[in-house]
Amino acid sequence: MIELFNRWFQRHFSDPQVIFLVVFLVLSFAIVIGFNDTLAPVFAAIVIAYLLEGLVVLLDRRIKRRLLSVIFVFVGFLTALMVTLFVITPLLWVQITDLITDTPHYIERGRQLILQLPSNYSFISEDAVLQLFALIQSEVTSMGKHVLTFSLSSIQSSITIMIYLILAPLLVFFFLKDKDVILGWFMRFFPKNTQLSTQVWREMDQQIGNYVRGKFWEITIISVACFVTFTLLGLKYALLISILVGLSVVVPYIGATVVTIPVAIIAFFQWGWSADFAWLMLAYGIIQALDGNVVVPLLFSEVVNIHPVAIIVAILFFGGLWGFWGVFFAIPLGTLVNSVITVWPSVPDEKIIENT
């Protein structure tokens, strides 16, 4: 048994580059997990810098001056941030407030509909209906408490949020402006013979960059398409629901299924079983179909495809470790694992025997 383990270890871990790669990955994951809250502005700035790097490169090809390209892109980023904070966020808050105000009315309508089930379906007992409604009401009350707790904690952490809003844009600017300098400084601590790590890094640098930019544009396109569609059809809380639908694409397969429930519920309470409800769900289905069959293939053509089972496992694993960011980066992190496994060297048994 010991001999078998010794051969396995020599086959997969005899290369010093492998040891360095393992140590580097372990330290990287430990830093992210251990300092997730402390370094949140840094992580957010890295994500945004990846997002903006593509625009900087495209602009730099035309004007041939990276600093000027960085300034133009950064000004555009600040403009979008200001619009989000002072235009979109107040409108979104108004719709959230309206939804909370209308919730008791929706609960009452739901109770009336549920109480009609025993008379329409004899196999459903009234006690079961009452228990179901009590469970739903309990869950709604619990959600309300969570919203209140979140609001109070948000007030307490408002100073921290303001600091993050100042620090993160500054970090984004310097990450874009001094990208080569920062990467060169990090490379000083790397051994000279790191072809294996360099190969994994180059592939992941391209994959994560493509993924972050593609996912951002997918969220933007789906959110705008839903907002225009829902507004034209007269659906309540159009902005709020559109943003939820857009953010749902962060979780492949699962997100689209889950977000369909609030879309259908709000549409039903607004129109009931009517032509308006049918048109809304048809338009929503078309948007989801276009997302899966047109938008995703166009935006993620350069991203390595991995099996849906691997994607779901990656979402569960990394989401459990890092929450939203773990879910957001589940696919590129899954690609990282796949890349490491692919390039991992293996020493033949014959060479192991010769060395022994």
Euclidean distance between CA atoms 120 and 295, whole angstroms: 43
Q: Checking phi first, is residue 315 left (phi over 0); if not, alpha (psi -120 to 50) or beta?
A: alpha
Cβ–Cβ under 8 Å, residues 60 and 69: yes
Coil vs helix vs strand at 14:
coil
Kindly write down the DSSP assignment for every residue of 254-286, as one continuous string: HHHHHHHHHHHHHHHHHH-SSHHHHHHHHHHHH
Kindly write down the DSSP assignment for every residue of 304-349, as one continuous string: PP--HHHHHHHHHHHHHHHHHHHHHTHHHHHHHHHHHHHH-----H
Specify the amino acid at residue 76. Answer: G
Coil vs helix vs strand at 190:
coil
Given this model, what pLDDT does residue 155 score? 47
For residue 77, give Cα distances in angstroms to 91, 225, 350. Answer: 20, 22, 57
Burial of 226 from C-beta contacts in 10 A (0-12 / 13-18 / 19+): buried
Closest CA to 106 of 236, 296, 11: 236
Specify the amino acid at residue 69. Answer: S
- Secondary structure string (H, E, C) spanning 75-115: HHHHHHHHHHHHHHHHHHHHHHHHHHHHHHHHHHHHHHHHH
Output the tens digit of pLDDT for each of the chain's 356 residues.
566 656 655 655 555 666 666 777 777 777 767 666 677 788 788 878 877 888 888 888 888 888 899 999 999 999 998 998 888 888 888 888 888 788 778 777 777 777 776 666 666 666 666 676 677 666 666 665 555 555 545 544 566 677 777 888 888 899 888 888 887 777 776 666 666 666 677 767 766 777 777 788 888 999 999 999 999 999 999 999 999 999 888 777 677 888 898 899 899 888 888 899 999 999 999 998 888 778 877 776 555 556 667 777 777 787 777 776 677 677 777 777 776 766 666 555 555 445 55
DSSP summary character for residue 295? I
User: Cα-Cα-Cα-Cα dihedral of 219, 220, 222, 223, to 10°?
Assistant: 100
Closest CA to 236 of 204, 262, 216: 262
Euclidean distance between CA atoms 95 and 244, whole angstroms: 13
CB burial of 258-288 (b: ≥16 within 10 Å; e: otherwise) equals ebbeebeebbbbbbeeeeebeebeebbeebb
148 contacts: CB under 8 Å, gap ≥ 6: none
Given this model, what pLDDT does residue 279 score? 93
Euclidean distance between CA atoms 118 and 133, whole angstroms: 13
Token output for 143: 């959600």
Euclidean distance between CA atoms 51 and 209, whole angstroms: 7
Given this model, what pLDDT does residue 287 score? 92
Given this model, what pLDDT does residue 334 score? 75
Given this model, what pLDDT does residue 331 score? 72
pTM beyond 0.85, yes or no: no
